[in-house]
Amino acid sequence: MSVEVETVVIGAGVVGLAVAAERASLGHDVLVVERHPAFGTETSSRNSEVIHAGIYYPEGSLRAKLCVEGKKRLYAFAEEHKVPFDRCGKLLVATNEAEVDELARIEGRAIRNGVGDLTRLTMAEANRLEPEIRCVAATLSPSTGIIDSHSLMAAFETRLLDAGGQVAFNSEVVGIVPVSKGEFRLSISSAGETSDLTCARVVNAAGLGASRIGCMLRPAKSEYVAPKLYPAKGHYFALSARAPFKHLVYPMPSPDALGIHLTLDMSGAAKFGPDIHWQDDIDYAFIDPNARHAVFAKEIKRYWPGLPEGALVPAYTGIRPKIYAAGTPPADFAIHGENEHGVPGFVGLYGIESPGLTASLAIADCVARLLD
C-alpha cells in the first residue's frame, strides 16, 4: 500500500494549523486542506483573542485540562516565536452581593482545575487597579492574557512549512472513504474540479464544518454518530473612544457564554462581547444593531458606569461551533478517535469553541497521542 500523503489535516484554523505544525515538526509528512484562499478566516479570526486561564470549565473536563496545559504551552510558544502577546491579567467582577457567592464558586473550581494564582480583591483594591470599574468585589486572574491570533496562525504555518509540510488553499474536502487499514481516499473539490488524494491519517479540524465531515465517514461502530452542530453567534461592539483599562474585565458567566466582557487587543483598542444568539445556520450578519446596542450598553454600565454615550460601534460577529442545543447542559470538547468511531487513523474535533485558541497546542498533543 502506498499513500500520497501521510497525514491530511482538514481546516487551516488555529487548531488545524497547530496540529499540522506539531505533527510536521516530529518528521511526519503533512498536508493541510483548506476551502478558503487564506488561513484562519472563520472562527479563528472572529473571537476575543484571550489566552484563558482555565477557571470556568467543569473539573476533569477536556476544556479545563487542555486550557490549563494549552495556556502554558501557548505563552512559551509565543515567547519563542515572537508572536505578540500580553499577560495583562483579568478582573472578574461581582457587581452585587449575590455575585460574590458566584465569585467564590468560580474560585473553587479554578483551584480544582489547577489554576492556583487567583487573588480576591475588595472594591478598593479592584479600584486601585482599574479606577473606572464599579464592583463590590473582584477576582484577579494574573495568568489571563491576550494574543495576536493572526500572528499566531502565521507562526504555526511557518513552522509547518519549515518542516516540509504544505497547505492547499481553495480546496474543499467533499468525501472521505476508508479504503483499508491505514488508507483513506479523500475527494477534494478545487476550482470546479474534484480529484482524489490518498493518505494514511486524517484529522478533521474543520470547525463549523467538522460535523458535516464527520458524517461523511462511515464509522466502523454502527452506533456511532458524529456530534451535530448547533451554531451560536456572538456579536462584538468596538469602543471608539480610548479605553481607560489595563486589564480585561469580565462579568459573571452564564452556562453557555462568558458574559459581555471587555477585551483589549495588542494595540490597546477595546471591544465588548460576545453575546449569544442561537441560530440554525452559519450566518455572520450583525443582527439588529440598534436593539443590541441598548442591551450591550446596559450590561457594560453594570461594571463601567462611565461608558461614554455613542462610543459603542458594531464591530463583527463570530460563531461558536457548539455541539449541544440551547437550554441543554453544555458539552465538553469532543475529540473522537478509534475508541469512539472504530476507524483507526481518523481523529475528529467537534465543539472546539472557547477556549480552543488557548488550548490549540494542547489539542495538538492530544491528537498526536490518538494518531500514534
Ligand X SMILES: Cc1cc2nc3c(=O)[nH]c(=O)nc-3n(C[C@H](O)[C@H](O)[C@H](O)COP(=O)(O)OP(=O)(O)OC[C@H]3O[C@@H](n4cnc5c(N)ncnc54)[C@H](O)[C@@H]3O)c2cc1C
Cα–Cα nearest to 217, from 122, 340, 135, 111: 340
Query: Considering beta carbons, is residue 20 or 94 the nearer one to ligand X?
Result: 20
Residue nearest to ligand X (CB): 356
Cβ at position 230, least distance to ligand X in Å: 13
Q: How far is CA 295 from CA 34, 91, 231, 243, 354, in A?
A: 37, 21, 21, 20, 23
Cβ at position 308, least distance to ligand X in Å: 24
Query: Considering beta carbons, is residue 141 or 354 the nearer one to ligand X?
Result: 354
User: Contact residues for ligand X (CB under 6 A)?
Assistant: 10-16, 33-36, 40-44, 46-50, 52, 172-173, 205-209, 213, 234, 274, 318-320, 352-358
Chain mean position to CA 21: 17
* CB within 8 Å of 211: residues ≥ 6 apart: 226, 227, 228, 229, 323, 350
Joined grid coordinates for residue 348 = 475528529
Joined grid coordinates for residue 164 = 516540509
Query: Considering beta carbons, is residue 23 or 137 the nearer one to ligand X?
Result: 23
**Phi, then psi, of 314 in degrees rounded to 5:** -55, 135
Cβ at position 9, least distance to ligand X in Å: 9
Query: Considering beta carbons, is residue 41 or 61 the nearer one to ligand X?
Result: 41
Round to whole Å and give the CA distance between 19 and 12: 10
Q: Which helix (H) or strand (E) holds 166?
A: strand 166-168
Residue holding cell 451554531? 231
Cα–Cα nearest to 43, from 318, 360, 348: 318
Cβ at position 131, least distance to ligand X in Å: 25
Question: End-to-end CA distance of the chain, in Å?
Answer: 18
Round to whole Å and give the CA distance between 40 and 116: 32
Sign of CA pseudo-dihedral 154, 198, 367, 24? negative
Query: Considering beta carbons, is residue 31 or 133 the nearer one to ligand X?
Result: 31
Cβ at position 291, least distance to ligand X in Å: 19
Query: Considering beta carbons, is residue 36 or 228 the nearer one to ligand X?
Result: 36
Query: Considering beta carbons, is residue 113 or 358 the nearer one to ligand X?
Result: 358
Query: Considering beta carbons, is residue 47 or 139 the nearer one to ligand X?
Result: 47
Query: Considering beta carbons, is residue 137 or 234 the nearer one to ligand X?
Result: 234
Round to whole Å and give the CA distance between 171 and 203: 15
211 bridge partner residues: none
Residue 184 · residue 343 · CB < 8 Å: no
Cβ at position 310, least distance to ligand X in Å: 24
Cβ at position 122, least distance to ligand X in Å: 27
Round to whole Å and give the CA distance between 65 and 73: 12
Cβ at position 264, least distance to ligand X in Å: 12
Q: Which helix (H) or strand (E) holds 272?
A: strand 270-273
